[in-house]
């Protein structure tokens, strides 16, 4: 079962993301979805659960770069973990800056139509994780 972590400081966003992924499966198994509410908690989660495949990361939590800082820390712990940035604050950091300077798999702004796109991004991230595991 593929382990996925949702990192967002807003419980309603955690719920929306969880609900949008509830029917998603990987290799015939449902996803094992977990949530935390801070960048710091996400790093601790990865330390305790090194088998996590995908992280869906908000950017602004404890401070305006918390998610980006956590992404770097997670990558240092396990470079195979696939991080998808999921942010409502796209104006603060350019999408291109984040893509070029951080070890992420994808970048998505929070919007009413992001649920289906996020599911496809998670599937692509799981494929990337599986390929890296096979190496």
Pairing of strands 29-30, 32-36: unpaired
**Which residue reads 């929306």 in tokens?**
16
Residue 36, classed as helix, strand or coil, is strand
Q: What is the mean pLDDT of residues 71-88?
A: 95
Mean pLDDT of the chain: 92
Contact 45, 24 (CB under 8 A): no
pLDDT tens digits, residue range 6-20?
999 999 999 999 999
pTM of the model: 0.93
Is residue 114 predicted with pLDDT exceeding 80? no
- The region that residue 35 occupies, defined by phi over 0 for left and psi between -120 and 50 for alpha, beta otherwise, is beta
Contact 18, 6 (CB under 8 A): yes
Orientation angle between helical segments 11-21 and 114-134, nearest 10 degrees:
70
**pLDDT for residue 135:** 85
């Amino acid at each position: 079962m593929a382990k996925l972590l949702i990192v967002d400081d807003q419980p309603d966003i955690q719920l929306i993301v969880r609900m949008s992924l509830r029917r998603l499966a990987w290799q015939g198994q449902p996803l094992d979805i977990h949530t935390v509410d801070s960048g710091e908690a996400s790093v601790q989660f990865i330390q305790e659960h090194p088998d996590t495949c995908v992280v869906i990361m908000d950017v602004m939590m404890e401070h305006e770069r918390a998610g980006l800082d956590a992404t770097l820390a997670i990558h240092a712990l396990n470079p195979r973990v696939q991080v998808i940035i999921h942010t409502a604050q796209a104006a603060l950091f350019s999408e291109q800056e984040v893509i070029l300077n951080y070890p992420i798999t994808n970048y998505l702004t929070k919007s009413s139509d992001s649920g289906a796109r996020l599911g496809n991004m998670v599937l692509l991230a799981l494929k990337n994780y599986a390929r890296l595991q096979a190496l």
